[in-house]
Structure formats: C-alpha cells, structure tokens
Structure 1
Amino acid sequence: MIEAPGILLTLIAFVAVIGPLVFVHEMGHYLAGRWFGIKAEVFSIGFGREVAGFTDRRGTRWKFGWLPLGGYVKFAGDMNPAGQPSADWLALPASERAKTFQSKPVWQRAIVVAAGPLVNFLVAILILAGFAHFYGVRYAPPLVGEVVAASPAAAAGLRAGDRIVALGGRSVESFADIAQYAMMRPGEAVRVDLLRAGRPASTTVAIGTLKQRDRFGNEYRIGRVGIGSPPVEYRPVSVLRAPVEGAIQVVAIVRGSLDAIGQIISGRRSVEELGGPLRIAKVSGEQMTLGWPAFIGLVALVSINLGFINLLPVPMLDGGHLLFYAIEAVRRRPVDGQVQEWAYRGGLAAILALMILVTFNDLASLGLWRNLAGLIG
C-alpha cells in the first residue's frame, strides 16, 4: 500500500497542475486579444497582492498573485465587471479607444473570451493524443463476454454473446462505452437495446452499486452491471490519427461531466461528490506518487474540467460572457448594462456559495469533521 504524500509534495503537485493550466488558459485570452489589436494591461497568475512581476515593452504588467487559485487578463478599457462602455471609456482618445476590448465587434469579443477554455481543451487533446500514439488505444466491441451470476445483468436476462447497441437511448460503440455509462449511474434502471443472434431485443437493467476504496483510502461509489469484457486489443495509432483519438476522449469526458451535473440537479447524485481546490491538491499529490503518466493524465483531466466549467453559462465565467454576446448578436444591441451588472453580482454570489460548499466537502474528504466529532465526543 502506498502511503499518502506529504504536505510539501501535495503543494508542489497542486501548483504543477494548476499553475500551467491557468497560464495557458489566460494565454488563450491574451493571444486572441492581441490578434485583434486589443491592449492587455495586466496578465496575472493568481489573485490578490502581487508577489513578483515585470512590465513588458507593450505596457502589459505580467505578475504573480499570492493566491494561486486562478488568474486573469485585464484588457484596456475593461472598467467594469460587465465590460460595458462607460463615461471614462468614452473620454479616451480615439486611438486608445480603438485598442480597448469594448471597441471590438461582438464576434471578436466572443473569440477572445472563448479562446481560454478552447486552449484548455487543446492541451488535453494533445496530452491524450500522446498517450494514444505511444501506448495505443484499447478497444473491445460492445459484446457481453460473460454474465456474472446473481448480477444485475443476470437478473435482466442478458446472455454471453449479446451485442449491446444502446443504453438509456444512447448508442454505444465499444465495451468501454458500456462500462463508462454504467459507472456513472449506480442504482439507476436503464433500458438496454441489443442484438441477440442478429435479432433486435431490449430489456431493463437495474445497475448495481459498488463501493471501492483506492490505495490512498479514497472511497468511490460506482455502477456495475455484471458483465465481462470480450477479448481486448490495443490498436496502434498514427501521429495523424492521434489528435482525433484525443478529441474523442475529450468529448467523452465532457459528456460524463454533463451527465454528472444532470444527476446532481435531479438529485440522483449527492452534492458531496463535488470537490474544489483542496481535493484537487490531494489528488495531485497522490497521482504524482504513482508516476508521471498518472500525473500527466490528471493534468489532462483537470484541463478539460477547467475548460468545461468556464464555458458554463454563469455570469462571471467565460460562458456567462458568451451568453450575453449571443443575446447581443441576436438583438443587434447589447444587454442593458444594469441587467448585466446584477447578473454578474448574482453569478459572483453563486460562485462564492459553490466555493463554500466544495471547501466544506473537501474538508470532509480530508476527515476534518470526523476528527472534530471524535474530539468533541
């Protein structure tokens, strides 16, 4: 059994995961803005008081904040949270105003905002493409290799040799699709469409629940159907094909994230499973002890989630800005500044509430509340 990493290694691993991903995210915004002639006044990694920094010849202040939980790029003219033209902006000379974010057409502003999350997805695609090229892609057809006795599959009448074509109305292309779908839905009853001896059939399976504990003591609740995989093959992947495989895996992970959000909203999955920076730090240290492949795989996963979360249509996030730009494009005029201001305040309140919740969950996963209860008892 591998012992849990110490605090120092955990901190190093956390910074090694979050720091580069925040940098490339903000670099996406910066480069897109520079492409369209927008002046960047500040490029910050971290929030709060500046620890170190310098100003380049273009007048951009590059700095590190003391709280390494994010970052931002402040473009010229960005004088309010909603990014709306103000009296101060109108007072700028025309030559300076032309270099501000607000002066650009809505499609350029949308590209600048979307560039950050898209770069995060690109990083993940490149990492997963590298794994696909150097290790190959594991593949098994969506066939039932065997049926475990007294399992949900046996109760549903599944047989060895059945070819599963859809689960819950979602088509499957490989055995991995079956495993991923079931893993995300413990305790749910789903429709199974299949081919048996070439003839279509269907049944309903009540996915079982399995609690697992990894070598670090983390517990997971996952779904299991109770079928064995057919023979697995590792297919080599060319350099040209590798990015496609990487993109396919990114799409699958994003779809899993959407499924998880839907389950939390509908109450089928507990909000206790939501994690924040402390849990990311804990997992980062654990994955670093398992070796570089595991650690780099975690970087890809966090990069995907960073891009995905930022695209959610929540004011204060990139997705919230994109939502307002979409409305502006349809209406041919921006949303009223006061409406945006209140929306961003509400978005900020929602994000702060979520941060409190995930921090509470993170502390629970570290055993703080259990230990306090033991002391009090």
Structure 2
Amino acid sequence: MKAFYGDLRLGILGGGQLGRMLIQQAINYNVTIKVLDPDREAPCRKLCEEFVVGSLSDYETVYNFGKKVDLLTIEIEKVNVDALEQLEKEGVIVYPQPRVIRLIQDKGLQKQFFKENDIPTAEFQIISSPQQLRQSLIPFPYIQKLRRDGYDGKGVYKVVDDSYLENAFTEPSLIERWVDFEKEIAVIVARNENGEVKTFPLVEMEFNPQANLVEFLISPSALSFDIQQEAVDIARKIADSLKIVGLLAVEMFVDKNGQVLVNELAPRPHNSGHQTIESNIVSQFEQHLRAIFNQPLGDTASTTNAVMVNVLGEPGYEGPAIYQGIEKILKCSGVYVHLYGKALTKPFRKMGHVTIVDIDREKAIEKARYVQSTLKVIS
C-alpha cells in the first residue's frame, strides 16, 4: 500500500456527517480524500479534495469512482456491493470488505450469522410473504424489520396483535421476539488487517420515542463489570468471526434478566461513538483510519465522563436551519458543538451533535439535559 500519510488516495462512499468527521481526522494524516454522494449539498462537499455527485447504488458510478482511488471505505452501508467486489478483484483495497457489507445490508443474513456463530440475539424468523407472517411461530408482540434498507428507525414495525398485521410490511422481512429490555447499549470495535482488535468502552443509549433515533448517550457506562465485559467480549467475537477490517458498531440490549442480546451491526463510524472525539484518547474516526491503513490501533480509554446529545430538527419546522439557543449552551464549560453543515432542516433530521464532558458524571448528565432543552433547530 502507498504511504497513508502522503500519496494514498482514499475514497469515501457517502458524503454525510460521518464522512465529514472522518475527513476532519484524515486531514491530520495528510490523506487525499475523494467523496461520492448523490446530494450535491452533502456535508462533505467543501472538505474533500474531490467531490463527485452520483448514485451510491449504481454499479457503473461506484465502479468508475473506485478505479480512481487506492483504498475505498464507506460511511453508509447502502452501496453497490457488486461494484465493490469487482474493484476488489482488480486490486482496489476495499475496507470494510464487500462480503461484510453484503451481509450487513441484509438483516436476515445478519441474524443467520449470529445464529451460526453463537452470538446471543433475540429469537427470530425470516418472513418472505404476508401469508407467512400470519403463520408466525413467534408469539405477539414482536418486531418486524425489513431485511433491506431500514435505518434510523425506518423499516421497523411493532406488531402487537392480529389487528396490526393489516399495516405490516409486505416486503421480505424478519420478525423477532419483543425484548423487554433494561438498557440499550453499544460497543464499537476496530480490527486491522494484521488482526489487532480493540474495543471502545461500552456506552448507554436513550432513543427518541417518536423518531427511534439515538438522542442521548452516556459514556462510559455505569452498568456492572460483568455486563460490560460480556458486551465487549461479544463485540470482539463478532469482529474476529467476520475478520472485518475497519470499525464495527455493535448495538445491543440488556434484558430484564441481565442478558446481553445483539440487535444490529454497522460496519463504519457510528452515532454511538461521536463522544470519542472529546472523551477518549483516540476517536472512533481516527481508529477507523488506523484500521483501514493497517496501522497500530490507538488507545481507546475514556479520559472523562461524556454525554452526547443528537441535535435533531424540531417537529413542525422545514427550511433553512436556525440554531435557537446555541449562544446559551456555548456559555457552559465542557460543551462541544458539532454542526453538520446541512443548510435545510426538517423534523428529526440529524443536524449535529453536542458532546458534554465533565469529571463528575452527574454534572455531565445535568448539563446535557440543559443542552437538550435549550438548543432547538427551527427554520
């Protein structure tokens, strides 16, 4: 591979906020960045050396873009894997590997992978038709998930009883037993080509009930050592089983009995790791770069308590973004604002995030609640 800090051309499929933060870190390594995204106003457009407007799902577009770089990575899974496989055959390095992206694009294949590798997860059933759904082996209530293209709470439907089947998805899906959970947690794990693996400390998440998006995240977790160790061990096992190169976010539940169950995977930087920019020795974005460049992985230890608040567009507002209350929160110590460069807001759109750090965990949480109630994105 060419020297990552000089003549290597890194391509990123996706120009959203994850790509933007990845570029911000890559600049420190003097990496040449090219980005492909369908939106000409994408957050990455002004930060990279070359920004290409084009479809991530079109074979020719992805293939032609990939031929002009030395190493290709992603910030979104919804990409043309056939093109990535061909590029890989022709010598372009693609991390995470196309086979990993293909598996994670399909939630049914993900679940089967968990089962085959003894990864704890909720009981599930693959569904191919509405008729099969009506003959479900899993009792009510259960969750129906589209096998493909679901994200940020989209493509998920809770089926409480027979009356809910009328509005259920008709496309290929899976259903899984409803988990009565105590906590939603996540572990981000990184693996490089040499097989070195490192995990970030477990984080606890709270979701916006309307949008089903992560709204509030606390790091590090205050759960018991045993639960934290179990979650970390599971994340490491998944990374090793996949032999992934790059970053992998492992989203999990802790149920009422204290059992850790894997929900879903994301093979890229993830919303559950944004706080690492300010609160860990190495950030998730630097760790992803280290992993795909096959460099030694960084120290993931937390340096302080941190709470991350997602900044979402307010319901009822759509148009040019106005950040109401930003001056008030900037008066608080330990508050770090990240705006994603999205000119237009709409309800529940991710417009940025704020990380709050404090050596006192409760003070960090208190300030985060203040940020949550004060900073509003309107138009």
- The reply to whether TM is greater than 0.5 is no
Structure with the higher fraction of residues in strand conformation: 2
TM-score, structure 2 as length reference: 0.24
Larger radius of gyration: 1
Structure with the higher fraction of residues in helix conformation: 1
Higher relative contact order (CA 8 A, sep 6+): 1
